Amino acid sequence: MNERISPSRQDVLAQDFVAFAVQAGVLRFGEFRTKAGRLSPYFFNAGLFDDGAKLGRLAEFYARRLIESGLEFDMLFGPAYKGITLAAAVAIELARLGRNVPYAYNRKEAKDHGEGGTLVGAPVRGRVLIIDDVISAGTSVRESIGMIRAAGATPCGVAIALDRQEKASENGTDTDRSAVQHVRAELGMEVIAIATLADLLAFLGAQSDAQLASFLPAVQAYRTRYGVGE
């Protein structure tokens, strides 16, 4: 029998975010092949936050989670490409909430005219928070850390929308840690997620919608096979 999750055990912000992602069609259920070659029962595609209303609501979730976390930062950095839009949107929402911070982002290729270089936006200085959608292998985070340090600033953390809480895969072999855990342990970065796979399971376990509730066993089985401890 599937356990029904008590609302008192839930992270309300995370539950609201999962419900929003499902309603927006960004979080989908079925059978999806991941980059690691796994057959996942769910798929999260942040690229589908593709209009002003959805992007604005997403930025609200990021901003609320960041304020709630208490993490201290001086500016935002958005790695190309998805991180660019996310950092700009989150900066706007933080300003709306009374916390006005600058933001910057990188180009994939250096510009050899005009202002030149690979960094665009505010000068990269102080404590810099990286904004991205997910952490798959940590490559984008490592590249961002390198650019931030090269500019003389200090990377202080990473904010993402969803932590899949699953084992990373290297050369086709599962590791003992997730990509998020690797970033925390090896790169020394705090990682703040709006929601996690555990929150998704809580959402499905509390569903009165039979169709959504029907996906719970498959997601539970996936976490049993590929999941990591929190």
Bridge partners, residue 160, by sequence: 193
Catalytic status, residue 167: no
User: Hey, is 73 helix, strand or coil?
Assistant: coil
CA dihedral for 5, 8, 9, 13, sign (positive or negative): positive
CATH class, domain 7-226, is: alpha beta
Q: Does the annotation list 125 as a binding residue? A: no
CB 149 within 8 A of CB 188: no
Residue 167 is assigned to a ligand binding site: no
pTM (global) more than 0.85: yes
Residue with tokens 């709630």: 68
**Sequence ranges of the domains in the chain:** 7-226
Q: Are 141 and 189 in contact (CB under 8 A)?
A: yes
140 is in an annotated binding site: yes
**Residue 111, marked binder:** yes
Q: Is the peptide bond before 103 cis (omega within 30 degrees of 0)?
A: no
pLDDT of 173 reads 72
Kindly report, residue by residue over 171-202, the tens digit of the pLDDT. 667 788 999 999 999 999 999 999 999 999 99
Q: How far apart are CA 45 and CA 68, in angstroms?
A: 25
Q: How far apart are CA 227 and CA 158, in angstroms?
A: 21
Phi/psi of residue 215, nearest 5 degrees:
-85, -10
Residue tagged active-site, from 54, 113, 167, 182: 113
pLDDT digits (tens, 9 = 90+) for 45-57: 999 999 999 999 9
CA distance 112 to 79: 20
Query: Which residues of the chain fall below pLDDT 70?
Result: 1-10, 110-116, 171-172, 230
- C-alpha closest to that of 197 among 132, 140, 134: 134
Q: Is 107 annotated as a binding residue?
A: yes
Catalytic entry in 54, 111, 167, 182:
111
The reply to whether 182 belongs to the active site is: no
